[in-house]
Amino acid sequence: MRLLPSLALAASLLCAPALVGRAAAASAPTPAVMPAAAPAPASSTAATKDAFIDDLIGRMTLEEKIGQLRLISIGADMPQPQLLKELQAGRVGGTFNSVTPADNRPLQQAAVRSRLGVPIFFAYDVVHGHRTVFPISLGLASTWDMDAVERAARVSAIEASADGLDMTFAPMVDISRDPRWGRTSEGFGEDPFLVSQCARATVRGFQGTSPANRDSLMAVVKHFALYGAVEGGRDYNTVDMSPMRMFQDYLPPYRAAIDAGAGGVMIALNSINGVPATSNRWLLRDLLRKQWGFKGLTVSDHGAIDELMRHGVARDGREAAKLAIEAGADMSMHDALYLEQLPGLVKSGAVPVSVVDDAVREVLGAKYDLGLFADPYRRIGHGEQDPPDVDADSRLHRGDARDIARRSLVLLENRNQTLPLKKGGTIAVIGPLADAPIDIMGSWSAAGKAKHSVTLLQGMREALGDRGRVLHARGANLTDDPRVVEYLNFLNWDTPELVQDKRSSGDMIEEAVKAARAADVVVVAVGESRGMSHEASSRTSLALPGEQETLLKALKTTGKPLVVVLMNGRPLTVNWAKDNADAMLETWYAGTEGGHAIADVLFGDYNPSGRLPISFPRSLGQIPTYYNQLRIGRPFTPGKAPNYTSQYFEEPLEPLYPFGYGLSYTDFSVSDITLSGQALQRGGNGHLDASVTVRNTGKRDGEVVLQLYLQDVSASVVRPVKELKDFRKIALKAGESRVVSFPIDEDKLKFFNAQLEYVAEPGDFNVQIGLDAANVRQKTFVLR
């Protein structure tokens, strides 16, 4: 266990939101500023934008230009009076972490009072909701419903822009195949296609029809690139990866967000094949700008330019600043190196002023696209509209939160139709996460407030009303290790995240067993505190922490039906629960309305339709378990002798739960595949249709996710065993059947070959359609 850093270091590391002082925030009337930078036309062409920005840059001093490259962390970088001075001197480009119009307005007022009156922008980590907290991204991906994913982002943008914010550091689209990594919770899972779809939907939701809209946020996709592949799942570690894997699996989601119009890109903290992303000219100039044609803003991650010295690629701050600006890191988040070093670097000729100008052009371009030159108060307003209570419940979108949350829940087990529960009798609601308003929000919960969260206990009580009785016992702490408690409570100075029950674990379990004995059914919420699945929260075990499994085993001895509700930000090795629970529901961290949504599913008011966006391993040793692995020469074949095949001899090779898996309260059958033809012609515009008939064979209406996978049977390089290429979520009434067709064109067959050309090669392809990655029908066609 690491020693806790001192508070001073903690402040410098602070990424969590902080508010500017109230006194400074007192709303003053907007001064009638006459910015020397004439307001930009509200709507304009690329040419007028360029002309406007060129003119502005032409009138800026070097100091003012460098000022535009500074992204200031409110509450961590400098005291408010100093910040106001810096703003008025035109030495700040944007800020992040202040989240109310009243807090932000004085900052903008100071900026527009500067010599050229260049406005600043306000950014924040709006990742899965703002005031209303939606399920964590892994939960959003579990919906396999891109309208829902887009809606969550749209509502977040409406709420955050109403708080005076212009920009969000999201979507986070790092592919994660190692659940030891705590930030797995922030991303959309393991699959390039699904994550790319979520990336697009999220950018659409944030930016709406234009980032200039009053209710839009500019999306800054992160963390470019490959952050999810850090070695050993240890946060901030190195990434060493073949170019083919990079292009095929890890880069597509960033590209998808950029193609959807994301205005910004945040640069990852990791190195890539020996070169930190922050100083990686190939990544930021050749790939991002030249190859992909990205025209927006790049921002470094928190303190990352400084960290170039710790990576050992820069001798000192001067070299770090030079490397970063030359590589293409436009804005520097939190560290002061651009401010301190760029003047000297430019004056000595070590860095051409044109390099600084290019970076400034992107910062000004983002502000222009956000409509801030036309009106610096576009989102902050002038005070008359400020909400009397920024935390008022009336500012939330509870209906959307509940609807989206219930779509995100994944039913993993349901023996003997334990679920749905009857609304009656006595239900014991047990577990350290049963009544956990902070945890249910998940990490990076923006301006969400725990007091607004509906916990599972509350949701169950409300759903049951006076038709039955709810008993409650905590049953266990989330961890019993004081060092872990201390680690997770780091930085939460006001309210510790983990509040330990001081009783012995035996006493807590005894109380829970007593409640279970008195009940007809036991619902037990176990998993991780939200801080356990967060930045800098890598784990060496994927087991339920603390005494939680002991609690489950004790509850099982009562003989009462045991319903396990998981709350966690990464796949867990819940083998015992898989085999012994009567039902198990994966709920991730379901957000503000989580408790209502979970109760809706447990009582059958909503038929669960979520599917896993990431495979669940059986054990830590089995990692990685992602489904789209490359083919090998000695594969293990189920049912055949395992000797001299690629597997582990102690346990089965298949994951605990495969990618795409999830149950419903009804059943679905999928017919054999019908192909509209046997061959596809290369170079043509044609396509084949692969169709199946899917039938709801059960007694309830429900939704099913049909998944299309392709396998290239033989190619010039080793290809994956299968790859998701399309999916469709459809609602079917009980007994209803429908033909579902997936068009397959040449594009779907393309991949990056050894020369990194994106090509389709002639030959056979297996097309698979099914209900998860391991449960498919198959047919073959040929590309000629």
Binding site for ligand NOJ (CB under 6 A): 15, 125, 169, 222, 301-302, 535
286 is catalytic: no
CA nearest 486: which of 18, 2, 14? 2
Largest CA distance in the chain: 81
Contact 298, 331 (CB under 8 A): yes
Provide, rounded to whole angstroms, the least separation between the CB of residue 156 and ligand NOJ: 15
End-to-end CA distance of the chain: 58
For residue 377, report the phi and psi dihedrals to the nearest 5 degrees: -105, 20
Contact 784, 771 (CB under 8 A): no
d(CA 47, CA 238): 41
- Helix or strand (DSSP H, E) at 122: strand 121-124
- Contacts for 567 with CB less than 8 Å, ≥ 6 apart: 433, 436, 439, 440, 525, 526, 527, 528, 587, 588, 589, 590
CB-wise, 222 or 322, nearer to ligand NOJ? 222
**Four-residue CA torsion sign, 268, 269, 271, 277:** positive
Provide, rounded to whole angstroms, the least separation between the CB of residue 305 and ligand NOJ: 13
- Contacts for 539 with CB less than 8 Å, ≥ 6 apart: 180, 182, 233, 532, 570
Provide, rounded to whole angstroms, the least separation between the CB of residue 131 and ligand NOJ: 18
Contact 323, 289 (CB under 8 A): no
The dihedral over CA atoms of 483, 488, 491, 494, expressed in degrees to the nearest 10, equals: -100
Provide, rounded to whole angstroms, the least separation between the CB of residue 229 and ligand NOJ: 15
CB-wise, 71 or 342, nearer to ligand NOJ? 71
CB-wise, 537 or 573, nearer to ligand NOJ? 537
The label of the residue with tokens 């959003």 reads: 140
* Backbone φ/ψ region at 83: left (φ over 0), alpha (ψ -120 to 50), beta: alpha
Provide, rounded to whole angstroms, the least separation between the CB of residue 371 and ligand NOJ: 23
The label of the residue with tokens 């902070």 reads: 438
Tokens representing 492 are: 């939460």
User: 3-state class of 246 per DSSP?
Assistant: helix
CB-wise, 15 or 198, nearer to ligand NOJ? 15
CB-wise, 169 or 338, nearer to ligand NOJ? 169
CA nearest 333: which of 5, 10, 13, 4? 13
CA nearest 245: which of 635, 624, 653, 717? 717
Contact 313, 300 (CB under 8 A): no
d(CA 735, CA 722): 31
Provide, rounded to whole angstroms, the least separation between the CB of residue 185 and ligand NOJ: 12
Provide, rounded to whole angstroms, the least separation between the CB of residue 364 and ligand NOJ: 22
Bridge partners of 730? Answer: 704
- Show the CA angle centred on residue 660, arms to residues 736 and 700, nearest 5°: 25
**b/e code 19-43 from CB counts within 10 Å (16+ = b):** bbeeebbeeeebeeeebebeebeee
CB-wise, 270 or 477, nearer to ligand NOJ? 270
CB-wise, 535 or 593, nearer to ligand NOJ? 535
CB-wise, 164 or 182, nearer to ligand NOJ? 182
Tokens representing 592 are: 């503000």
For residue 29, report the phi and psi dihedrals to the nearest 5 degrees: -65, 145
**Could you tell me how many helices (H) and strands (E) the chain has, helices first?**
23, 27
Provide, rounded to whole angstroms, the least separation between the CB of residue 390 and ligand NOJ: 20
d(CA 248, CA 731): 32
Instruction: Give the burial class of 715: count Cβ atoms within 10 A of its Cβ; 0-12 exposed, 13-18 middle, 19 or more buried.
Output: middle
CB-wise, 443 or 628, nearer to ligand NOJ? 443
Active-site residue identified among 103, 145, 301, 439? 301
Provide, rounded to whole angstroms, the least separation between the CB of residue 83 and ligand NOJ: 17
CB-wise, 222 or 402, nearer to ligand NOJ? 222
CB-wise, 299 or 585, nearer to ligand NOJ? 299
Instruction: Give the burial class of 540: count Cβ atoms within 10 A of its Cβ; 0-12 exposed, 13-18 middle, 19 or more buried.
Output: exposed
d(CA 147, CA 159): 18
Contact 263, 211 (CB under 8 A): yes
- Show the CA angle centred on residue 743, arms to residues 740 and 747, nearest 5°: 150
Q: Which residues are catalytic?
A: 301
